[in-house]
With several copies, the nearest count.
Chain A
Amino acid sequence: MDFRFTDDQLTLAESVRDYLAGTHGPEVLRRLDAEGNRDPAIWQGLTEMGLTGLLVPEEHGGLGLGLVEAALIAAECGRACLAEPLVDTAFVAVPWLVRNGDLADLGAIAAGERQMPLPHVLNPWVADGEGSALESVDPLRNLVMFPAAGSADPYLLDLGALMSAAQLVGLADAMLHQAVEYAKIRTQFGQPVGAFQALKHQLASCAVAVEFAKPAVWRAAEALQDGGESASVHVSHAKVAASDAAVLTAETAIQVHGAMGYTYEVDLHFWMKRSWALNGAWGDRAWHLKRIDQAVIGGTMPIGPEHTFA
């Protein structure tokens, strides 16, 4: 029993964070927004970092890592509001293909030559892919409606939900950070607005929500990785907690920004909109809550102090 990431995991996450911070800052988001959202050079960079092959078994040219590592990296993608659809292909489609023994495309995916956004019955559209275009509130999401009905496989749904949850805690972290930084420099009534206790306490409440959503996400990643019986319930917990933290943080962050927050000029809006999109993706709040309801009130899963890791 050790609820910590390994040093290797932390180093990997940090290197991705640093890389994205250096190559995928807000000025890049604004450029992409103006120029059609996708930039092969960015995808190339992610491929060279090994991220497209993170979950691809080594014998197919990948790094052969697991869902815990993927969740950590997905959180970094959220933090950076990554425009490229890395998570959908590399952290959702790949482990599903591996589970299904469908290995043909793994090499191409690892090499960055193939993207594979997968539809699900609960999630008929995802970013990129082939199909009729839909316009998302998120300007960086190239949404398409798939022509065929998606899979109904619960494992695929769990993967999508887990990785959405991981992105959402990263998004929430980033929005909290942006709000804090703005509150330090914006002055009103002769002082930084961040010195006003009312804003301090709102931001502190966001920190509480985000910090207690994170361990639920890591625990869900571990559960799904291990394939335990209750893994789906933990994924649903992660999705609900991360979504709620992100929605709260988005509303607080815009409030802290005041009228500036309501403009397109402030970076915040990219993160808010991604949060709203992922809030509904891969099973919405009600869907995941119902799964928890069946387990907890319905009694299909043991609960109580001795069942922390049930």
Chain B
Amino acid sequence: MDLVYTPEQQAFRAEVRAWMEAHVPKEPLVTLECREGYDQHVAWERTLASGNWGMVTWPEAYGGRGLDLIQWLIFEEEYFRAGGPNRANQNGIFLLGPTIMEFGTEEQKARFLPPMARGEVIWAQAWSEPGAGSDMAAIQSKAVRDGDHYVITGQKTWSSRAAFADWGFGIFRTDPDSKRHKGLTFILFDLNSPGITRRPIRQLHGDTGFAELFFDEVRVPVENCLAGEGEGWNVAMATAGFERGLMLRSPGRFQATAKRLVDLYRAHEAEASPAAREAVLQAWMQTQAYAYNTYAVASKIMAGGKIGAEASLNKIFWSELDRMMHRTAMQILGAHAELKRFGNGQINQWLEGYIFSLSGPIYAGSNEVQRNIIAERLLGLPRVGAG
């Protein structure tokens, strides 16, 4: 156990800090969930890429910096310290990129990864279907082989970024007689392909970042299939593992929220409730604990270890922590909590954040599914059971 940064790591931190201080937009961007904000966020991805900060953990060959996970954590800490915007390219960086590196052919890596790293192609994920949310194995959308193409018909929904993104990825049923986890294939597709209709879904806050996708005999070349036909479930599980696991939500994001919450509390200390004070202290403790745990997992992976069902512990912890911090801020704001903009015109980021935090226990595998996984795979409790 060595909790001291090396001089190289400290130098790296200084480098990130300097770049971020010089480049992070001074004003918060408009929300990613509308056209204007999406465009701002894509522009930011390109700025990041110009400094080669887009995909820091990727190999240099694919447009990354080949950083190790500790360096990644330092990068993220400095990114959120500087107030860096949410990442439009998140699906690419954390989900699809690692998946292609693990399962893709050399040709696929060369074709898809560099433009992703440069922020030129923004990716949407397309897992869920109207009848397949938590129960992803209930997927029905079909991809029928026709020569050197798949012909996709069906519907996906709650596809994040899909209202505006360029490409999408998801799993489709390639074996029409298959059931549940079998007969599924992982396919990448151009969202502007003929036959795809996007219907943006208005979200809770009124904006439209995710979308329904309708596929009407959409032709996709066979070479867009990742890993073998019928391997989709395994690939998707690996992808979902990346999502729930280490990289989707780095601790820096939550530590920055905790710090803002402490500042908010201080400004309202005289009139705040005891529950709010307790929650603010929990916010510091829990964000720190999340950081320690992430460093521990990163250290383990760097030493050749793997992350398994523990990812479900992470998912529950950060999502419920994030909701708790934002709920606390809403309570501290009191009458001001309901305002979309305060009297001085400033956006109420706590309100936006609270609304977003409510999706945390739902997406990336609902917390109910995660608790099942913990109970069954980590604790070894029996699977079958009646309510």
Contacts and interface: CB of A to CB of B under 8 A. Distances in A.
Partners in one complex: yes
Contacts of A292: 281, 284-285
Q: Is the interface of A mostly helix, strand, loop or mixed?
A: helix
Interface stretch (A82-90, A92-100, A104-112, A211-219): A211-219
A4 B1 contact: yes
B384 A195 contact: yes
B336 A280 contact: yes
Contact of B271 (A265, A277, A290): A290
A262 B271 contact: no
A281 interface: yes
A304 B80 CA distance: 9
Most B CB contacts (10 A, CB to CB) among A5, A141, A145, A296 go to: A296
Contacts of A207: 313, 374, 378-379
Interface stretch (B22-30, B96-104, B218-226, B294-302): B294-302
B247 interface: no
Contact of A6 (B1, B134, B281, B371): B1
A255 B387 contact: no
Interface stretch (A40-48, A52-60, A198-206): A198-206
Nearest to B352: A137
A207 to B, nearest CB: 5
Nearest to B367: A255
B108 interface: no
Given A203-B375, A258-B366, A290-B271, A284 B295 contact: no
A138 B343 CA distance: 17
B313 to A, nearest CB: 5
Contacts of A281: 335, 338
Contacts of A213: 289
A33 to B, nearest CB: 10
A137 B288 contact: no
B206 interface: yes
Nearest to B17: A306
A124 interface: yes
B293 interface: yes
A101 B338 CA distance: 33
A142 interface: no
A207 B315 CA distance: 13
A264 B203 contact: yes
B363 A286 contact: no
Contact of B286 (A125, A136, A212, A255): A212
Interface in A222-257: 222-223, 226, 237, 240-241, 247, 251, 254-255
Interface in A281-310: 281, 284-287, 289-290, 292-293, 296-297, 299, 303-309
B109 interface: no
Contacts of B138: 188-189
B277 A293 contact: yes
B335 A280 contact: yes
Contacts of B238: none
Contacts of B386: 189-191, 195-196
B32 to A, nearest CB: 15
B387 to A, nearest CB: 4
Given A297-B262, A297-B269, A305-B81, A263 B295 contact: no
Interface stretch (B35-43, B162-170, B189-197, B253-261): B253-261
Interface string B300-315: 1001000000100100
A68 interface: yes
B281 A2 contact: no
B285 A240 contact: yes
Contacts of B128: 259
A117 interface: no
Interface residues of A, number: 95
Contact of B385 (A191, A259, A303, A304): A191
Contacts of B375: 194, 200-201, 203-204
A187 B371 CA distance: 19
A253 to B, nearest CB: 10
B337 A276 contact: yes
A51 interface: no
B290 interface: yes
A3 B296 contact: yes
Contacts of A297: 262, 265-266, 269, 277, 280-281
Contacts of B359: 259, 262
B1 A305 contact: no
Contact of A296 (B77, B280, B336): B280
Given A195-B383, A304-B81, A280 B363 contact: no
B376 interface: yes
A167 interface: no
A3 B81 contact: no
A287 to B, nearest CB: 7
Contacts of B385: 191-192, 195-197, 200
A306 B13 contact: yes
B243 interface: no
A1 B70 contact: yes
A258 B250 CA distance: 24
Given A196-B385, A216-B289, A309-B3, A1 B203 contact: no
Given A276-B338, A286-B272, 5 more contacts: A192-B385, A198-B368, A219-B3, A262-B204, A293-B281
29 contacts: A1-B3, A3-B299, A6-B1, A136-B339, A137-B351, A137-B355, A183-B381, A190-B386, A193-B134, A194-B381, A195-B386, A200-B371, A207-B374, A208-B317, A208-B374, A211-B310, A216-B292, A237-B289, A255-B366, A255-B368, A258-B133, A259-B363, A263-B203, A264-B201, A284-B334, A286-B276, A286-B334, A303-B259, A304-B256
Interface of B: 1-6, 9, 13, 17, 70, 73, 76-78, 80-81, 128, 131-135, 138, 157-158, 201-206, 251-253, 255-256, 258-259, 262, 265-266, 269, 271-278, 280-281, 284-286, 288-293, 295-296, 298-300, 303, 310, 313, 316-317, 323, 327, 330-341, 343, 351, 355, 358-359, 361-363, 366-368, 370-372, 374-376, 378-387
In the A-B complex, the 10 residue pairs with the smallest Cβ-Cβ separation, listed nearest first, are A195-B385, A284-B334, A200-B375, A215-B292, A264-B202, A305-B252, A286-B273, A204-B371, A204-B374, A188-B135
